[in-house]
Structure 1
């Protein structure tokens, strides 16, 4: 019982420390006495926590504040740049590495294409480039950990990539491998789960019930229900791209038939564009790329869409119909407050947003679409890196998702 009491005491100390640090981060500059009053913690507990945080560089004193009588209180502020984290965002086609501060701002980053790398080789590929990145980074002493995100089914508690069809990953213990190699704490999460956290904490969508949908080289979603990430039993909740939309359709890499991914992911759109070009159809995409098919990327397609290109508009109509039908199912099933569209195909794609909005207004249950916020991602092109940072920072700060 004595050991248990000691363990409980240490846990309470850690919780108080996290509470104090997060409050300084959100409300600073702030005094010790204000921290104690606003958090319902004794002044001595606050003083002890602050002393540790100052010693470790997370917090600093910035001078006296106003006084209502007596000695002026010393104000405290959060130091987001004294420490940093390493964010790793693995996609089905590339690997992003970044050094980031404690407000999820990118300080340095690198990108490596993944071509033909499968299974355990993905982990080897990561280690090879992470070794180089950390060496070039040169400030490992202030690194608080590594946060990695991967598409597919991720068992985040155990740190295992259970299943990823496109990368051929099957039960890869990525967390254990990296912690053993680098001697620092590692976080692992599904990429879409991380981005929905980031939209809540660092974007403009401060909602307890939030769904993020990404359309890129794959298709996925992250779902927050009543402030809680929806993981499912094995970490596979949110596999939006592998919901069936056509039982007579093409066979997907996952083994199913007619998956949504096969109809609206970038690879599906790219295939449609190539078919049109090889059949001689006139399109501004040809002009934008100078006839070089290797230069056809989502940004080119979206530019053609903005210019009113007929092929791009036709494809957008099809994508919107498939996506709209799937989103209506999500709305009717989860009743979110807000729904965010992102990924390379969704980012800055107002034409797609408006088409899907029309579909939602026509087909979703009226009471469930009432007051629904439907918008484009607010995180920009570093969304996946900010997502990886959000996973680690949520653990570090111990903040509730509903705190602003």
Structure 2
């Protein structure tokens, strides 16, 4: 109970600070003595500091309290199917510094990628002389994840099966560790640190190296029976399509992940040297980046438009299905294929509004991710911070 009260009070200060001890006691109906004791511990721990005197209501001016975001920090780790990024992040989810290693360039799989993760964290930590101020390690990872036990049950690209990642990390670094599915982490981050806190029902769609979705229903993350909810990329969209790494045929991910889109762009530009894609890459079509795709769409390049329309038929249809299933207040579009790609985002908006159930979308909004390129790391941070501050999604 004492720890719970401390976390509740800490979150009150985070949300409403500067705030006085008496205001905390009144708002949460906690005794002033309990508040004073908890605040004393939080100040000693370096999590909270006094911030001068507030306005008087007739008596002595109250001493105001606020979070000390720089006195403590966390190690946030974003694992994707292609990279591992380790970051130092403060208590307001602000990223101080990062280091990224390439997974795609390494032929390692399974246990070797776990070792690469351990090595990456160890190398990063070795450069930090004040690790005594670290409150833990928080990791977001694609795949089916048991966030409570910290087990990655399945990830086809990383070849992870029943990997007890939480135990592995904690045993290696003696730091408390949190593990969460990357899409759940990102929709949590959009809700708590992004621009979408007012919504109770959110659908976060991520299109990049893989395709996934994070779903919040009535202010609760939808996880499913074993953490498998939101595997949007493994919904079937083409019964005559290619075989996916998951074993199924015609998964959405095989049609619209960045690798698939880039291959189509390369083929289209190779047959038309007047394409903007050719000039943007100086003829090095193997180097096409998402920003090149976006730039080509902005000038109406026919090759880029053709690929976008083909992609939209799959991705747009998938989003319509999700909208009709979950009736969200807002659809958030993220990932390197979509972020900054205004033409494609506008096309998705139009596609959804034309094809989804009209009653369901009357007040629904569609927006790009408010966290941009940092969504994955802020998502990783939000996992730990949610537990430390014990904030809810309401």
Count of residue pairs the alignment pairs up: 391
1:132 equivalenced with 2:132 (yes/no): no
What's the counterpart of residue 395 of structure 1?
387
Deviation at 1:280, TM superposition (A): 4.6
Between stretches 279-288 and 359-368, larger displacement belongs to 279-288
User: Which residue of 365, 383, 388 corresponds with 1:373?
Assistant: 365
Q: Deviations over 1:151-180 (max 9, x none)?
A: 111111111111111111111111100100
Name the CA distance, whole Å, in 2 between partners of 1:61 and 1:372: 42
Deviation at 1:62, TM superposition (A): 2.0
Name the CA distance, whole Å, in 1 between partners of 2:84 and 2:277: 27
Q: Secondary structure at the match of 1:21?
A: helix
What's the counterpart of residue 256 of structure 1?
248
1:167 equivalenced with 2:161 (yes/no): no
What's the counterpart of residue 33 of structure 1?
22
Name the CA distance, whole Å, in 1 between partners of 2:27 and 2:145: 38
Q: Is the 8 A contact 2:269 2:285 kept in 1?
A: no
1:225 equivalenced with 2:214 (yes/no): no
Name the CA distance, whole Å, in 2 between partners of 1:317 and 1:286: 19
Q: Is the 8 A contact 1:321 1:356 kept in 2?
A: no
Name the CA distance, whole Å, in 1 between partners of 2:216 and 2:347: 24
Deviation at 1:357, TM superposition (A): 1.4
Q: Secondary structure at the match of 2:99?
A: strand
Deviation at 1:117, TM superposition (A): 2.4
Deviation at 1:344, TM superposition (A): 0.1
What's the counterpart of residue 318 of structure 1?
310
What's the counterpart of residue 68 of structure 1?
57
Deviation at 1:282, TM superposition (A): 3.6
Q: Is the 8 A contact 1:62 1:76 kept in 2?
A: yes
Name the CA distance, whole Å, in 2 between partners of 1:111 and 1:301: 24
What's the counterpart of residue 67 of structure 2?
78
What's the counterpart of residue 176 of structure 2?
185
Between stretches 287-296 and 204-213, larger displacement belongs to 287-296
Q: Secondary structure at the match of 1:222?
A: strand
Name the CA distance, whole Å, in 2 between partners of 1:100 and 1:37: 32
1:210 equivalenced with 2:202 (yes/no): yes
Between stretches 271-280 and 234-243, larger displacement belongs to 271-280
1:241 equivalenced with 2:233 (yes/no): yes
Q: Deviations over 1:173-194 (max 9, x none)?
A: 1110010011110000111110
What's the counterpart of residue 377 of structure 2?
385
What's the counterpart of residue 349 of structure 1?
341
1:96 equivalenced with 2:88 (yes/no): no
What's the counterpart of residue 19 of structure 1?
8
Unaligned stretches of 5+ in structure 1? 1-11
Unaligned stretches of 5+ in structure 2? none
1:361 equivalenced with 2:353 (yes/no): yes
Name the CA distance, whole Å, in 1 between partners of 2:67 and 2:214: 30
Name the structure where helix makes up a greater proportion of residues.
Answer: 1
Q: Secondary structure at the match of 2:49?
A: strand
Deviation at 1:348, TM superposition (A): 1.3
Q: Is the 8 A contact 1:98 1:110 kept in 2?
A: yes
Aligned Cα root-mean-square deviation (Å): 1.1
